[in-house]
Structure 1
Amino acid sequence: MDLTVRVPGSCGELVQGFAQGAPFLGTCPIDRYTTVEVSDSFSGLTGLGEKSLQAMQLTLARSGKNDFPYGLKLTSELPQGKGMASSSADIAAVVVSVMEALGEPWSPKFVMDIATEIEPTDGIFCPGIVLMNHVNGKVLAHFEQVPSLRAAVFDMGGTVDTCAFHQADKKAEDNQSLLQEFQQAMHSGRAEKIAQVATESAFANQRLLYKEELQQLWQLGKEAGALGINAAHSGTVLGLWWNADRSPEKIHQQAEKIAQKLKVKFWGLANLRPGGVEVSRR
């Protein structure tokens, strides 16, 4: 038995905030992944961190199992503590791998229930793009239409502990209007409108997690033709977004110049893609 499960990470969030006292998050899945391989041709657990091990234990418990009879190997393209949904992708990939290997049915809600038991969660494993409460896992809206957008991903340095960030006592503004704008933008499917809302959300988050380079990065990006900028609201990355039909070579050159000028790390390019879990057997 050979099984591979792949889950996308994120470039921060398209939108995040509070409305009527409850948190909300708009997912931003990209084409960088956590991959889990399960096989009976090797043994042991490789590459699992504390959270993904906890996810495995919770999944086995819910399935009425005491142990996992196969080898499992986790690899990831997603750096930890940067706001790229590395933990959420790891957790989801492990949960689905265990369920698939055991021949048990699963759903995004099943994954969400386990993930939110561990920490506030990014729903990148849900199909399409979702608007959700990332603390309790409730999905508020689902959007199948994903605009064609390409990001240059920049890292401002350092790491952020997601759990500690969400447990901190932060006085939250009401972002009801931002929430409504995001829903309208997603229903319209217009890339420029979605990028505009993401920009508004990134700047609104400055009072909760300040990024010194945000203003200048957006100014330089705008001059280079970017449609908008988004943030990891509880992380360290920022993404400048262009229409996907723009030359990736050109975006790459411009992004490298911007990174050099601001003395920040350029992680490379990423494409916005639908969320979800990919399962393959061979």
Structure 2
Amino acid sequence: MKIGTGYCHGTFGELVQGIINENDPFLIPLPIQLYSKAVFLPRTNVKEIEANNNKCKARKACQLLLDKYQINQGGTLVIQSQIPTGKGMASSSADIVASLRAVANCFSLPLTEKLISEIATKIEPTDGIMYDEIVAYDYLNGRQIETFGSFPELVLVGFDTGGIVDTQQFNQTRKTYTNYEKQQLRKAYQLSKKGITEHRRESIFEAATISAKINQKVLPKKHFDEMEQLAEIYQGGLVVAHSGTVIGILMDPNQQNLNLKKLLIDIHAKTECPPVTMKVLT
């Protein structure tokens, strides 16, 4: 038994999100280099877990893990996160995954991606970020649908449109799609699969844009039209948090004549929002 540590990355929303096979919910996460870090300090005289900053979801998840392995000992869970909350960037999912990894590390418990998924989904809809590779993931039922591998090198320029979204409450609302939108989501799924497995960036950009357009009816984003215009001009893909507030443009960093500085200036001029540049995890 030792002090346990665990990490998990966040996301910039989702590459694609919707339904597949008529009614099965799915998402494909878009991982970025922002992290949650969890540290678990075991205490021999305590049977329950205490967590800092009211991190009750992560605490509950860790308690479920200890109960599974019949460990009658608690401790203190300390979480530090770079990921903003209420923005659709997987902040609470990252806290849960990092915390489970910290507790497992402390007690040397076997912890598979599938087990993390099962526990996380008991707490709330989750994001599939517990998997090492990019997956298509049923975020309501915690089911891995398909594994795609890893993203090619991509750069992302985006910003927060403001406000917050309660993801748990948002996901309780039933989403309806027209037959055309269902067809488009199937197309986006296949484009994502092709783009990630074969490292075809143009397919990834097209998939992201299709999904972002469909989601604009579900959860509208300010400055959507301006960003769509810029994505087309700069030959990138429009990407959004489908249950959050961020919006951005995916770019090929190796694109000839790519001028990221000018893109940043153009985004600010059109939206009056300060954009930032991020790297997508590969």
TM-score, scaled relative to structure 1: 0.87
Which residue is equivalent to 1:148?
A: 153
SS in 2 for 1:185: helix
2:242 maps to 1:233: yes
8 Å CA contact retained: 1:157, 1:265 = no
Q: Distance in 2 between matches of 1:113 and 1:252?
A: 43
2:93 maps to 1:93: no
Distance 1:226 1:78, change over 3 A: farther
SS in 2 for 1:121: coil
SS in 2 for 1:78: coil
Q: Please say which of residues 17-26 and 51-60 is displaced more in the overlay.
A: 51-60
Instruction: List runs of 5+ in structure 1 lacking aligned partners.
Output: 275-282
Which residue is equivalent to 1:6?
A: 7
SS in 2 for 1:167: coil
Q: Distance in 2 between matches of 1:89 and 1:246?
A: 31
Distance 1:164 1:265, change over 3 A: farther
Instruction: List runs of 5+ in structure 2 lacking aligned partners.
Output: 44-48
Q: Pick one of 68, 81, 84 that aligns with 2:74.
A: 68
SS in 2 for 1:159: coil
Task: Output aligned runs, 1:257-272, within 5 Å.
Answer: 257-266=266-275, 268-272=276-280
Distance 1:252 1:62, change over 3 A: farther
Letter in 1 for 2:230: L
Q: Distance in 1 between matches of 2:88 and 2:105?
A: 28
| Identical aligned residues as a percent | 33
Q: Pick one of 20, 37, 46 that aligns with 2:52.
A: 46
2:30 maps to 1:28: yes
8 Å CA contact retained: 2:138, 2:145 = yes
SS in 1 for 2:40: strand
Q: How many residues align?
A: 269
Compute the displacement of 1:54 (Å).
1.6
8 Å CA contact retained: 1:28, 1:124 = no
Compute the displacement of 1:197 (Å).
0.8
Q: Distance in 2 between matches of 1:256 and 1:77?
A: 25
CA displacement, residues 68-95 of structure 1 (integer Å, 9 cap, x when unaligned): 24x4321111011101010110010111
Letter in 2 for 1:18: I
SS in 1 for 2:6: strand
8 Å CA contact retained: 1:244, 1:271 = no
Q: Distance in 2 between matches of 1:252 and 1:35?
A: 31
SS in 2 for 1:33: strand
Which residue is equivalent to 2:225?
A: 215
Q: Distance in 1 between matches of 2:50 and 2:196?
A: 43
Q: Relative CO higher for 1 or 2, CA cutoff 8 Å, sep ≥ 6?
A: 1
Q: Pick one of 116, 119, 128 that aligns with 1:111.
A: 116
Q: Distance in 2 between matches of 1:245 and 1:114?
A: 40
Distance 1:216 1:36, change over 3 A: same
CA displacement, residues 111-167 of structure 1 (integer Å, 9 cap, x when unaligned): 000111111110112112111111111111112232110101211111111111111
SS in 2 for 1:57: helix
CA displacement, residues 1-45 of structure 1 (integer Å, 9 cap, x when unaligned): 44432111000101111122111101111111111123469x963
Q: Distance in 2 between matches of 1:260 and 1:4?
A: 43
2:140 maps to 1:135: yes
TM-score, scaled relative to structure 2: 0.87
CA displacement, residues 30-65 of structure 1 (integer Å, 9 cap, x when unaligned): 111111123469x96334522112212222221212
8 Å CA contact retained: 2:192, 2:207 = yes
SS in 1 for 2:228: helix
Q: Distance in 2 between matches of 1:180 and 1:156?
A: 29
- RMSD of aligned Cα (Å): 2.3
Letter in 2 for 1:15: V
Q: Please say which of residues 21-30 and 60-69 is displaced more in the overlay.
A: 60-69
Q: Distance in 1 between matches of 2:53 and 2:104?
A: 19
Q: Please say which of residues 2-11 and 12-21 is displaced more in the overlay.
A: 2-11
